Amino acid sequence: MSGQVELTNPVDLSVGGMSGHLLRRGIHVSMAGLPFVYFAYGEQVAEWLSLTLDQVVAGVLLLAIVGEGLRLRLGLTVFGQREYEAKQVSALAWGAIGVGFVFLLAPHEAYAWPLILSLSLGDPFMGELRRKGLDASKVMMYATGLLLVIWMACSMAFGTPIWMALLLAPVCMLAEWPRLTYIDDNATMLLIPLALVLLLEPFAGVMVA
């Protein structure tokens, strides 16, 4: 079962200590570039491979799942991962799964950009606030502020409905909060808001416009 677990210092558990922790944060932030790669070059890559864009995304996702399965089979952790990830699906793999499902199910700039930016920027922001010792109420307040900026910026840039932006920014913050044993917040922070996007999209009509 995936019960709640206690908060821990990510530096203490990272392979490589502070250097591993910084690499982990850097990879997290670099995920902000994935929507750009997808929307700017995805169709070209798919055409070059003689595949559809969905097939490319699904193929990459399947490779990531198989690779994670092999890593778990061998019980390996690499620099930047946390020690306990030798025996459970890693945060990186959960993030890849979440991003893959965003591109498969909500392949529109109005949704993919704010969802992925919320994870890539919001999650490490909240983690660092906790590591600095801020109490939960301040972490929630500051994180919601950052996520609101992200969603409103995407509303102006990509046409995300404002009412959805106002609703989903705090949802993204709350989706990061559960401390589950086997499901990383990289998954919950994408898949929970994504599910809400899919439920609300029929009322917004963005992807059929």
**15, part of any domain:** yes
Looking at the structure of the chain, the number of domains it has is 1
Three-state DSSP state, 180: strand
Amino acid 11: pLDDT: 60
In a domain, 57, yes or no: yes
Tokens 């990879």 -> residue: 27
Q: Which residues, including other chains, have CB under 8 Å from residue 87's CB and lie 6 or more apart?
A: 72, 75
* Radius of gyration for the chain, computed over Cα atoms and rounded to the nearest angstrom: 17
Is residue 1, in this structure, part of any structural domain at all?
A: no
Give CA–CA dist 18/113, Å, rounded: 29
pLDDT in tens, 137-184: 999 999 999 999 999 999 999 999 999 999 999 999 999 988 777 788
Q: What is the dihedral of CA 101, 191, 181, 185, to 10 degrees?
A: 100
Which pTM value belongs to this model? 0.90
Range of the domain at 107: 10-204
Is 5 within a domain?
A: no
Give average pLDDT by consecutive 10-residue segment, the chain, 209 residues. 49 64 84 97 97 97 94 80 79 92 97 98 92 92 97 97 97 89 88 97 88
In a domain, 124, yes or no: yes
145 domain residue, yes or no:
yes
Does any domain span residue 4? no
